[in-house]
Amino acid sequence: MQYPRFAGTDRTATPSPRAQARRHLLGLLLAATLAAAPGLAAAEGLTLGLISTGTPEATKAAWQPLADALSRAMNAPVTMVSSKNYAEITQGVKSGAIQVAWVNNRMAIELVEAGSALVFAQMVRTDGTRGYKSILLARKESPVKTLDDVMAKPGAFTLAIGDKKSTSGYLVPNYFIFAKRKVDPARHFKAITSGSHRENFNTLAAGKADLAINNTEEVPRYQAEQAADWAKVQVIWESPLIPNDPLVMRKDLPGVTQDRLRRFFATYGQGGGAEKATLKAINGLSGFGASGDHQLRPIVDLEMFEAMTRLMNDPSKTPEQVTAAMGELSRRAAKLDTAMSASRYLGQ
């Protein structure tokens, strides 16, 4: 290496033994620092949060090979936490107990709005698509064949719907099926139950509900694992395209850790047949595409519009209360718009 020459200093002079020893020690310290560059203390490790549409145990089993590879790439242990209660995952990210997570778009909005996390990747399916649809299922033996049939008979049917934090299980169908028709599902249906996509499918297949909300991501699983049950049901409605689920990471992770996480997920699936098999088992994936907070815009728009529609149709609110609530919604929308615009501008 060529050093600049300063007056009164001879850089070509041979260092003393003591200076050589000091440089050697500094070199060792620098090497140790670079080895720990992921920004994760080996003793602390990394916690990967996973939403579960089936059982948490099955979800963790599907992700285990990826978690093992992530542990090797980050040079730190990786622990997985999976839950059907989506709030547990969002709270884990907010508290810092979870550093990286698979969430849905609605959960990601909550985390971005709270300033806790940022979107850095998006699931890509084996056919290359980055979107899926919410669907409404009915039993084939049922007289219900269309959405109009459902709307025509208030109080006649039971519905199995998703968690209120679910994008495809709740937000999208609640808006496109009910809010746009000014229908209150709590009043329209004889009874409503809430569960995971798999639980709702099983409830319908067993004849314990007349209708069930689900999504097109789960259909290949039912066709492969529960073909007899799938043969009992039919799709009577599907939504516009929903952006595929994102991966998020804590915003306060060191920059070098964030970079390594981005590289790992961007390249996972290129390591051969075993990685491809893992991705397919996770959710029929081919990989993870680079993404950012901007992917949330369609769902933010939907959520804001739904909230405003619900507010304007709430007879219990005074005009002053509606005005105040509208102001709060506008501030939320502006804050999220800033985050999404910045994400696209920065190429995240």
Query: Do the domain assignments include residue 199?
Result: yes
Q: Show which of 205, 227, 242 is a domain's final residue.
A: 242
Looking at 279, 296, 313, the residue that finishes a domain is 296
User: Residue 35 pLDDT > 60, yes or no?
Assistant: no
In this structure, what CATH number is given to the domain that contains residue 169? 3.40.190.10
Helix (H, G, I), strand (E, B) or coil at 290: strand
Number of domains in the chain: 2
Per the domain annotation, does 326 fall within a domain?
no
8 in any annotated domain = no
Same domain membership, residue 264 and residue 126: yes
Residues 69 and 158 in one domain: no
Confidence of residue 345 (pLDDT cuts 50, 70, 90): low
CB 102 within 8 A of CB 265: no
- What integer is the mean pLDDT of 97-105? 97
Q: How far apart are CA 126 and CA 177, in angstroms?
A: 29
User: What is residue 53's predicted lDDT score, i.e. its pLDDT?
Assistant: 80
* Range 175-181 contact pairs with CB under 8 angstroms and sequence separation of 24 or more: 175/302, 175/305, 175/306, 176/134, 176/239, 176/240, 177/136, 177/147, 177/237, 179/306, 179/309, 179/310, 181/151
Same-domain status, 147 and 226: yes
What pLDDT is attached to residue 344?
65
Q: What is the pLDDT of residues 227-271, one digit of tens each?
A: 999 999 999 999 988 999 999 999 999 999 999 999 999 999 998
Q: Tell me: pLDDT of 137 over 80.
A: yes
Mean pLDDT across 287-316 = 86
Identify whether residues 99 and 125 lie together within a single domain.
yes
Query: How does pLDDT run across 181-239, given as a tens digit for each residue?
Result: 889 999 999 999 999 999 999 999 999 999 999 999 899 999 999 999 999 999 999 99
Residue 17 placed within a domain: no
Residue 30 lies in a domain: no
Is residue 215 domain-shared with residue 197, that is, in the same domain? yes
Are residues 103 and 206 part of one domain? no
Same domain, 142 and 175: yes
Residue 73 resides in a domain = yes
As a whole number, the mean pLDDT across the chain is 86
Residues 109 and 248 in one domain: yes
Residue 140 shares a structural domain with residue 222: yes
Q: How far apart are CA 305 and CA 303, in angstroms?
A: 6
Whether residue 177 is contained in a domain is answered as: yes
- Mean pLDDT, residues 315-340 taken together: 85
Residue with tokens 């899926």: 132
pLDDT score of 39: 39
Residue 227 CA to residue 192 CA, distance in Å, equals 26
Give the Cα separation of 310 and 246 in Å (integer): 27
Higher pLDDT pick, 40 / 62 = 62
Chain length of the chain: 348
> Are both 93 and 192 inside the same structural domain?
no
Domain shared by 124 and 268, yes or no: yes
> What is the distance of C-alpha 202 from the center of its chain?
24
pLDDT score recorded for residue 308: 81
Quick check: 16 pLDDT over 90? Answer: no
For residue 174, what are the CA distances in angstroms to 66, 112, 184, 206, 302?
Answer: 34, 23, 9, 24, 11
Host domain of residue 212? 131-242
Torsion of CA 275, 280, 282, 284, to 10 degrees: 150
Residue 117 lies in a domain: yes
* Boundary-marking domain end, from 199, 224, 242: 242
Q: Are residues 108 and 178 in the same domain?
A: no
Tokens 């039971």 belong to which residue? 158
Predicted local distance difference test score (pLDDT) of residue 24: 44
